[in-house]
Amino acid sequence: MGPKWDRTVDATFRESILIEYQTEPVNGIPTNQLHVRYSGRDSTLTWPRELTLAEVQPMIEAWKVAPVDPQPPDLPNVEGPNLFLLL
């Protein structure tokens, strides 16, 4: 987990790097190769960009000593109008 936080309408979460290697198709990533994915607020690193281990290794090293941002408050639970679709 990284030191920064990201907020969406669904949740507040810390940035992260996921490194996967699958020998059988499980969740749509390519098999038999390293797959690296960043999740967080840095839009230059997010999907659909494909990352390499060499690109994220300096980030992981920097995260080891980076101060952790305080967790922001959750967004207020605001209910909007009830919408539905009739076909």
- With respect to residue 69, please indicate whether it lies within any of the assigned structural domains: no
- The DSSP bridge pattern shows strands 16-21 and 34-39 to be antiparallel
Residue 44 maps to a domain = yes
Residue 28 domain-assigned?
A: yes
Q: Does residue 79 belong to any structural domain of this protein?
A: no
Task: Look up tokens 């507040």; give the residue.
Answer: 12
Does residue 87 belong to any structural domain of this protein? no
pLDDT above 60: residue 70: yes
> Is the residue at 78 inside a domain?
no
Rg (the chain; Cα; Å): 17
As for how many domains the chain has, the answer is 1
- pLDDT above 90 (res 15): yes
Please check the confidence at residue 79 and state whether its pLDDT lies above 80.
no
Average pLDDT over residues 62-87: 76
Chain position carrying tokens 């949740």: 11
Residue 36 in any domain: the answer is yes
Residue 7 β-bridge partners:
12
Q: What is the mean pLDDT of the chain?
A: 86
Residue 23 lies in a domain: yes
Cα angle value 41/4/9 (rounded, 5°): 50
Average pLDDT (68-86) is 71
Range of the domain at 38: 5-64
